[in-house]
Amino acid sequence: MRTNDGLIAATLGALAVVAGAAAITRKSAFGSAVGRRHQPTVIAARRLNRASGLIAASTLLDSGIEHYRGAFHNRAMIAPLVVSALTLAVSAHGTRDARPVAHRLRDSVYAGAALTGLIGTGFHLYNIGKRPGRFSWKNYSWQNLFYASPILAPSAVALAGLLGYYSERLRESRSTGAPRVFGLPAGRALAALTAAGLVATAGEAGLLHFRGAYHDPFMYVPVTVPPIAAALLAETAASRPRKPRRLARWWLRLTTLIGFVGAGFHIFGVHREMGGWRNWRQNVLNGPPIPAPSSFSGLALAGLAALGLIEEHPHA
């Protein structure tokens, strides 16, 4: 029976890898097929819709599992589920929308997601602060960061909203000249935002993997590869590159793949818990969060959209 469980876990992990590769391939095909028909800002906006939707799917599943484990003792714990589901829905709509105009409903949902993520961070900080020891590093109270509400988890909801809201601003920008959003060069500003998101997400992964004592060498991957991608994006945002950033593009593609492969590893981690998938009701709650790594994939796709904008207007 254990062998069958291992086979199931391995199969699901392989499917996760295939899904990641398919996402990269589809993205490249999307860019080449649609690029001949629509202006670059709309192409980038649709890519951002896809990135926002992927992050929203991750937060919907992850917060659903974690808040279910917390028995939804606070009614506000249902908010990220509702907001993430709405964000996923409008992102799917935006991915198919080729019009160069912002959509009011998508705008409202994305803004609501960003606000929900900000408020959720406050709730999580309060949850840690009310525990004995609070944020002190004395008397082992630093363990509050491990076992209380994950301090940076709501930022994923905010990132999904910010990327989606940014996509709508891109649609509004004119195709003549270099596109600007909030008065800033669109590509470079998006690269900086994505770099910050990658650093925050890697920090959250690093904290939780430290809690797991890095017992598997692969646990070092999400705290090394995404930060390098963030550094490459930050350098691109600051330097006004005149040539395509091939290393940054390939590193972001690797980061996209890592998000899906990470979900496969987490599936295997659930399998290794007592009872494996036969005891899935408990192990999905107590094992590694399966949907969490896909946030890296969503952010990497946003970074690729930023590179596309920068290469289209290298002097902006």
Integer Cα distance of 151 and 125 in angstroms? 6
Please give the Cα distance from 203 to 122 (Å, whole number): 18
Residue type, 239: S
Beta bridge mates, 72: none
**Prediction pTM value:** 0.82
pLDDT of residue 255: 97
The Cα 185–Cα 178 span in angstroms is 7
Say what the pLDDT of residue 128 is: 82
Strand 184-185 to 180-181 pairing? antiparallel
> What pLDDT score was predicted for residue 5?
46
Virtual CA dihedral for 8, 12, 13, 19, nearest 10 degrees? 160
Q: Are 178 and 49 in contact (CB under 8 A)?
A: no
Q: What backbone phi and psi angles, to 5 degrees, belong to 184?
A: -110, 150
Question: What are the tens digits of pLDDT across the range 108-135?
Answer: 999 999 999 999 999 988 888 887 777 7
3-state SS, residue 181: strand
Give pLDDT tens digits for 139-197.
555 677 777 788 888 999 999 999 999 999 998 886 556 788 888 888 999 999 999 99
Measured distance CA(287)–CA(268) in Å, rounded: 10
